[in-house]
Amino acid sequence: LSDVLENRKGQVDDKEKIGNMSLGSACGLEYIHAQNIIHRDIAARNVLYTMNKVAKISDFGMSRQGDLYRMTKGNKKIPLKWTAPESMSVYQYTKKTDVFSFSILLWEIFSDGEEPYKGLTGVDVKRMVSCGERMERPEGCPKNMFKIIQKCWEQSPDDRYTMSEVVRKIEDVLDDYATDSIETEGHVEPKVTV
C-alpha cells in the first residue's frame, strides 16, 4: 500500500482511500483480532493492495497469539513511528496497541504515503508520543476520518476504539460520503455515490 500511495500521489480519491484502503485494512485487522492475534506491525508497508483495490494485511513476523504480549527489554528493533505509548514504555502489546498503529496507517493513507513524523528521530517521536502529542491532520483529510484517527491514537488504551468500532465508524463515514457532502479544508467536497 505504501508503494501505491507513493506512486499514485494526488491521484487516489477519498472514496478509494475510505472504502478500499481504510475500510479494507480495518476489516482485515478486525478479523485478525477475532482470531485472538496481535499483529504488532500495522503500517502501510505491511498492507498488500491488489489490482482490484483490495487491501490485505500482511507480514505476520511480529504477530503473537493472545490478548497480551510483553516483550523483554533489550536491543530489539520496533517500528517506533507506529508504536503505542505503552509499548514504548513498558514493552506491552495488546489489540489496542494495534489500534494505535492503525491510526498511523490511516494517517499514511490520507497523507498520500508521507512518512509519519517526518524529520524526527526515534527519540523525538518517543518523547512526543509519550507526552500525548500527535501529528497534524493531513491536508485534505476529511474531518470525520481524522476524528477516527484521533480516537485510535488516544493516550490511554481504554479510550481507543476496538477494531470492530473502527470498522463501524469508517462504514458510517462511507455512508455519509454516499448521501451527503463531506467538509475537508473549509470547502465542501462534492457528493459521491458508492
CA distance 29 to 39: 8
Catalytic residue among 13, 14, 41, 67: 41
% helix, strand, coil for the chain, step of 5 = 50, 10, 45
Q: Say whether 176 is catalytic.
A: no
- First and final C-alpha spacing in the chain: 22
CA distance 120 to 129: 12
Instruction: Collapse the DSSP code of 74 into the 3-class scheme (helix H, G, I; strand E, B; otherwise coil) and give the result.
Output: coil
CA distance 189 to 17: 14
Residues designated catalytic: 41
